[in-house]
Structure 1
Amino acid sequence: MTEQPAIRVLLVDDDPLVRSGLRLMLGGASDIEVVAEAADGAEVAPLVDAHAPDVVLMDIRMPGVDGLAATETLRARPGPPEVIVLTTFNTDEHVLRALRAGAAGFVLKHTPPAQIVDAVRRVAAGEPVLSPAVTQQLIAQVAGGSGQPGRAARAREQLAGLGPREREVAVAVGEGKANAEIAAELYMSLPTVKTNVSRIMAKLGLNNRVQIALLVHDADEI
């Protein structure tokens, strides 16, 4: 059986001790390779070009170019690596903005090492890092009152481009339901739910189901 190539990871944090700890933690996994480190968001794009990481572990709060700006810049590029945000607070408004920009999820800095390793593996495999419950909690605690003018109208306009079943699936994703729950509730097969989720992301230009949930919340559909 052909051995899978190692998951290539870029570490971005202004604290060298944090980077050292993450490198040590990830270095214990035979299927993960830390290919580069950065202390500032300004270094991210050149390092991505030079080392082609699969996943970027990105600290939010850094002097100079912070992790939020770096994530927004990175995810706007063609074929970007996945981004996992590193944060101290799980209800930080910056986390929400990073998720809107296309970050695949976030992990707290005090998360047990095994869970951070698991998050890297899941993101590299195209799986969600955030559980539906965590996604819903974040939206409820942080998104409420974000209130940018026109955001609700834009979100409703985007959702209007979906078919009836796609819209039902989108709302269920926004309610924090997993695919199996959506399948049971909407009398669909699991593959059909997955197909609908993929179609929703393609139609709306979204990267992941977290962004679907945020869009549904913005449109006041739940």
Structure 2
Amino acid sequence: MDSALIVDDHPVVVGAVRMVLESLGYKPVHVASSGVDVVPMIRAHAPKLIVLDLKLTGFGGLEVLERIRTIGLDCKVVIFTSADPEHYLMRCRRAGAMAFVTKSAAMQQLQSAIKAVRSGYSFFPELPVNNAGQSDASRDERESIASLSTREMEIMIKLAQGDSNKRIAQAMSLSHKTISTYKTRLMLKLGVSSLVVLREFAKRNGLF
């Protein structure tokens, strides 16, 4: 019987996802609440499937995906998140995820995604392509976000949420100086003048 790993820090979500996985025959079902714990748990339990949230403590979900791919761990990943698919879907796909389901969808959609992935197929919703209703400023902001690397995206979100350079450095196993460099680069790339403006930028674009 195939095992699975849920990576999410919300107990209610974990309970609901566990029910879906167990109904599909996955057993045992392991749980990690922090991105830092994912790689060690994959190595310890060798799950065939991972249901991964993107909004995590420690490493974010994008960083976790990158690490799984870089190390070459053999597991299929389904993203199950409240993060805006417009900013994250293609990033997740490029990083090796096989499915993307938003938490606002019915649990049946998660079940369908898991079935598809187990059978070797991908499961991604179509994104709207009509930008007619967006202002030039809004399009510029979204293009700026799209230009960020995975690590830049993760650090930007942590900064916008109010984490200090020291705390981010500890969570991501990086030096304080490295985070300071990323912070300066992000300010220039996004055209923001302060952390307050950065927070407004991130919130306006649904990044947290």
TM-score tier by shorter-chain length is 0.5 to 0.7
Which amino acid letter does the alignment assign opposite residue 15 of structure 1?
H
Is this contact kept in 2: 1:7–1:121, CA < 8 A? no
Q: CA deviation at 1:23?
A: 0.9
Is this contact kept in 2: 1:85–1:107, CA < 8 A? yes
Q: SS where residue 25 of structure 1 aligns?
A: helix
Give the whole-Å Cα distance in 2 for the aligned partners of 1:7 and 1:111.
25
Give the whole-Å Cα distance in 2 for the aligned partners of 1:139 and 1:48.
36
**2:8 is the alignment partner of 1:13:** yes
Which of 16, 21, 24 pairs up with 1:26?
21
Is this contact kept in 2: 1:26–1:34, CA < 8 A? no
Which of 97, 108, 126 pairs up with 1:103?
97
Determine the structure 2 residue equivalent to 1:172: none
The residue correspondences of 1:44-123 to structure 2 (distance < 5 A) are: 44-123=38-117
Q: CA deviation at 1:54?
A: 1.1
Q: CA deviation at 1:20?
A: 1.5
Q: SS where residue 3 of structure 2 aligns?
A: strand
Q: CA deviation at 1:82?
A: 1.2
Q: CA deviation at 1:110?
A: 2.9
Which amino acid letter does the alignment assign opposite residue 9 of structure 1?
A
Give the whole-Å Cα distance in 2 for the aligned partners of 1:64 and 1:138.
31
Q: With the length of structure 1 as denominator, give the TM-score of the two structures.
A: 0.54
Give the whole-Å Cα distance in 1 for the aligned partners of 2:47 and 2:3.
5
CA deviations 1:98-137 (Å, max 9, x no partner) are: 2221111211113222221221121122111125xx1xx2
Q: CA deviation at 1:89?
A: 4.1
Give the whole-Å Cα distance in 1 for the aligned partners of 2:114 and 2:28.
11
Give the whole-Å Cα distance in 2 for the aligned partners of 1:74 and 1:95.
17
Q: With the length of structure 2 as denominator, give the TM-score of the two structures.
A: 0.58
Q: SS where residue 27 of structure 2 aligns?
A: strand
RMSD over aligned CA atoms reads: 2.7
Gaps in structure 1 of 5+ consecutive residues: 1-5, 150-222
| Cα pair distance change 1:139/1:59, threshold 3 Å | farther
| Cα pair distance change 1:67/1:139, threshold 3 Å | farther
Which amino acid letter does the alignment assign opposite residue 65 of structure 2?
T
